[in-house]
A and B are shown apart, each in its own frame.
Chain A
């Protein structure tokens, strides 16, 4: 998979590029809109990560020009503004996604993967399996070592999110936005407690834990 990063801040560009490279992506970086346009029209990329504030051509204009050239790769927009303007909303409806700065890398990775999955048109399988833990999204059944685990609706959703990103860190922000649909920090340690309760059900009574807390980043579910 080849990703084009369009970001004028070298620190952020380097940070994202290194992270994606570690995940096995081929990464190219452009520091301004014009260079990015030249690169994207000359070569094939599977996905672009575009910062909105760019020298030469701003991010939105770049995306619009690329679309006008018939380049349909999915785009992840980076923005420092919290409130989205209408143009970004329009792009979002067109299948692209956005992420507000500052962001945690795991979240960026999850969104990149989701965009690629959607673009690739691969249907998600109804059954997720990580190690001895399985989750059936249609029957809404979770089993570990064949033993059924009784989960409440939100616990099921949190586990599904962790399993879909098995081995990767899932941030609190991601859990809040994907499970509860909250785009804000509700304060307190609500997510910690929710994951703690999930862990009580998934890990308790089994030899090896599967859900781990990664301090300062989020949670990760790994095969036992």
Chain B
């Protein structure tokens, strides 16, 4: 149902885009053609008027200078050149007598009575029409001397013809534009929406069939669509990573929980079936309690990690003396180290005041110490040190232990990762991930340097004042 809706949306969007493209293209072309038509029509009229008026001036002058004979000579001269044929020439005396009225025979179809009509004479310029025809006569009128009227007129047939041709061509062009706009709009929309469609397809296949290998094709032209595609791909990669991580950690969780639960069950079963002493049963029960304790510890650590990874680890931010927290941890692990024959030294300033969650910081330091002591053989040394540098407190735990192989170093912060080295030592495998999570929750970081066989250096870098966002968590 969703996919159909999305389909329709994309289609509608594409349709709208194509329509807009088509509309703008067609309207734009129509406007251009109409303007051109108007300009052409206007300039033709203008030219016509100029010609008519120039002719009128010449004829009027000829009539003034030499009366009708001179006028006739002038007309005859013009006719001989054939330039301005055909033409209407009319001369009317003040008493209304048309002393000269020459025009092509078929122009009688025009409403010639209008020639003496007021508007035509008043403005000196005008047109008379013929019934049943679009053709008109453009007439220029002028009074000369003793109010003798001279009129010269030409048919608009020529202009009309030019304009008609223009309109034909324009219509052809317009038709072409309509076709181009329709086809181009569709093609352009398709091309523009193609990446979107690919995105939709990828996301849909991801939704329906799991993330897998489906990725949005990226054309490497670095436009906005490409950026979106890249972002979606990165998101899919991230989701893939998270899912893989989750599967992996689920396996580990199952393993880490299964082991103590299996031992617990085995202990309880064998105690149930044995006919041994009460003392032996009590021992078995004590074993059960210890194993269940282990399960709870693992669960707690997993919950902490899950919270930290989801960014919901609740921190009780308050002023903390990191040096004091570290001294407490050193004090706590002093006994274990001594028992193991490892020298545990502290190189701590009196105070390293920062703001953070005391319990979480203590947990991080304790985990680092636990790790260091665990992987340092007898005769080795673990040193805890702290310094303050511009806005950050750095706590380091250096050991002379077995070290971490270079290829494992990048993975030690991964949840549940446990290198080969820990096969002989019990451990949750969650400790370092938790340190990492706690550091990040405080807006800090943790890093490790190590030379296999020579020892490791873990550095916990914490901002003295964590970002304000952290305090609200």
Interface string of B274-310 (1 = CB under 8 A from A): 0000000011011111101100110010011001000
Q: Nearest CB to that of B371 among chain A residues?
A: A187
Task: Determine if A184 and B370 form an interchain contact, defined as CB atoms under 8 angstroms apart.
Answer: no
- Bound-state CA distance A187–B338 (Å) is 16
B362: interface (CB < 8 Å): yes
A116: interface (CB < 8 Å): no
Of the stretches B328-336, B378-386, B463-471, the one at the interface is B328-336
- Bound-state CA distance A154–B288 (Å) is 30
Task: Determine if A190 and B332 form an interchain contact, defined as CB atoms under 8 angstroms apart.
Answer: yes
- B410-459 residues with Cβ-Cβ distance < 8 A to A are 427-428, 431
A183: interface (CB < 8 Å): yes
CB-CB nearest 4 A-B residue pairs: A216-B289, A216-B286, A215-B286, A193-B335
Q: Nearest CB to that of B369 among chain A residues?
A: A186
The answer to whether A215 and B283 touch (CB under 8 A), given A102-B296, A186-B366, A187-B366, is yes
B374: interface (CB < 8 Å): yes
- A174-209 residues with Cβ-Cβ distance < 8 A to B are 180-190, 193-194, 196-197
- 15 extra interchain contacts, Cβ-Cβ under 8 A, other than A184-B300, A194-B335, A216-B285? A83-B307, A102-B296, A180-B328, A181-B358, A182-B362, A186-B332, A186-B363, A187-B428, A187-B431, A190-B332, A193-B338, A215-B289, A216-B286, A216-B287, A216-B290
Distance (Å) between the CB of B60 and the closest chain A CB?
A: 106
Task: Determine if B335 and A82 form an interchain contact, defined as CB atoms under 8 angstroms apart.
Answer: no
Interface string of A63-103 (1 = CB under 8 A from B): 00000000000000000001100000000000000000010
Q: Which of A154, A189, A196, A217 contacts B289 (CB 8 A)?
A: A217
Distance (Å) between the CB of B329 and the closest chain A CB?
A: 8
- CB-CB under 8 A from B373, the residues of chain A are 188
Interface size on A, residues (CB 8 A): 25
Distance (Å) between the CB of B358 and the closest chain A CB?
A: 7
Task: Determine if A185 and B283 form an interchain contact, defined as CB atoms under 8 angstroms apart.
Answer: no
Task: Determine if B286 and A185 form an interchain contact, defined as CB atoms under 8 angstroms apart.
Answer: no
Task: Determine if B335 and A196 form an interchain contact, defined as CB atoms under 8 angstroms apart.
Answer: yes
Interface string of A158-188 (1 = CB under 8 A from B): 0000000000000000000000111111111
Q: Which residues of A contact B (CB under 8 A)?
A: 82-83, 102, 104, 152, 154, 180-190, 193-194, 196-197, 214-217
Distance (Å) between the CB of B413 and the closest chain A CB?
A: 17
B133: interface (CB < 8 Å): no
Q: Which of A194, A196, A217 contacts B332 (CB 8 A)?
A: A194
- CB-CB under 8 A from B472, the residues of chain A are none
The answer to whether A181 and B359 touch (CB under 8 A), given A82-B303, A186-B367, is yes
Number of A-B contacts (CB under 8 A): 80
The answer to whether A182 and B359 touch (CB under 8 A), given A82-B300, A190-B335, A197-B335, is yes
B10: interface (CB < 8 Å): no
- CB-CB under 8 A from A154, the residues of chain B are 331-332
Distance (Å) between the CB of A111 and the closest chain B CB?
A: 18
- CB-CB under 8 A from B367, the residues of chain A are 186-187
- Bound-state CA distance A154–B333 (Å) is 12
- CB-CB under 8 A from A186, the residues of chain B are 329, 332-333, 363, 366-367, 370
Task: Determine if B300 and A185 form an interchain contact, defined as CB atoms under 8 angstroms apart.
Answer: yes
B3: interface (CB < 8 Å): no
- CB-CB under 8 A from A215, the residues of chain B are 282-283, 286-287, 289-290
- Bound-state CA distance A194–B373 (Å) is 15
Q: List 16 A-B contacts (CB under 8 A).
A: A102-B296, A181-B358, A181-B362, A182-B362, A182-B363, A182-B366, A186-B329, A186-B332, A187-B297, A187-B431, A188-B333, A188-B370, A215-B290, A216-B290, A216-B293, A217-B286
B314: interface (CB < 8 Å): yes
B339: interface (CB < 8 Å): yes
Distance (Å) between the CB of B380 and the closest chain A CB?
A: 16
Q: Nearest CB to that of A154 among chain B residues?
A: B331
Q: Nearest CB to that of B430 among chain A residues?
A: A187
Distance (Å) between the CB of B184 and the closest chain A CB?
A: 61
- Bound-state CA distance A185–B338 (Å) is 20
- Bound-state CA distance A214–B286 (Å) is 8
Q: Nearest CB to that of B363 among chain A residues?
A: A184
- Bound-state CA distance A214–B297 (Å) is 19
Distance (Å) between the CB of A66 and the closest chain B CB?
A: 27
- Bound-state CA distance A180–B325 (Å) is 10
- CB-CB under 8 A from B287, the residues of chain A are 215-216
Q: Which of A83, A181, A193 contacts B339 (CB 8 A)?
A: A193
Distance (Å) between the CB of B314 and the closest chain A CB?
A: 5
Distance (Å) between the CB of B31 and the closest chain A CB?
A: 67
Distance (Å) between the CB of B359 and the closest chain A CB?
A: 5
Q: Which of A83, A188, A197 contacts B374 (CB 8 A)?
A: A188
- CB-CB under 8 A from A180, the residues of chain B are 328, 332, 362
Distance (Å) between the CB of B199 and the closest chain A CB?
A: 39
Distance (Å) between the CB of A193 and the closest chain B CB?
A: 4
- Bound-state CA distance A152–B334 (Å) is 12
Q: Nearest CB to that of B287 among chain A residues?
A: A216
- Bound-state CA distance A47–B205 (Å) is 60
- CB-CB under 8 A from B307, the residues of chain A are 83
Interface string of B235-277 (1 = CB under 8 A from A): 0000000000000000000000000000000000000000000
- CB-CB under 8 A from A152, the residues of chain B are 331
Counting chain B CB atoms within 10 Å of each CB, which of A183, A185, A187 scores highest?
A187
- CB-CB under 8 A from A82, the residues of chain B are 300, 303
Q: Nearest CB to that of B285 among chain A residues?
A: A216
- CB-CB under 8 A from A197, the residues of chain B are 335
Q: Nearest CB to that of A152 among chain B residues?
A: B331
- Bound-state CA distance A188–B426 (Å) is 9
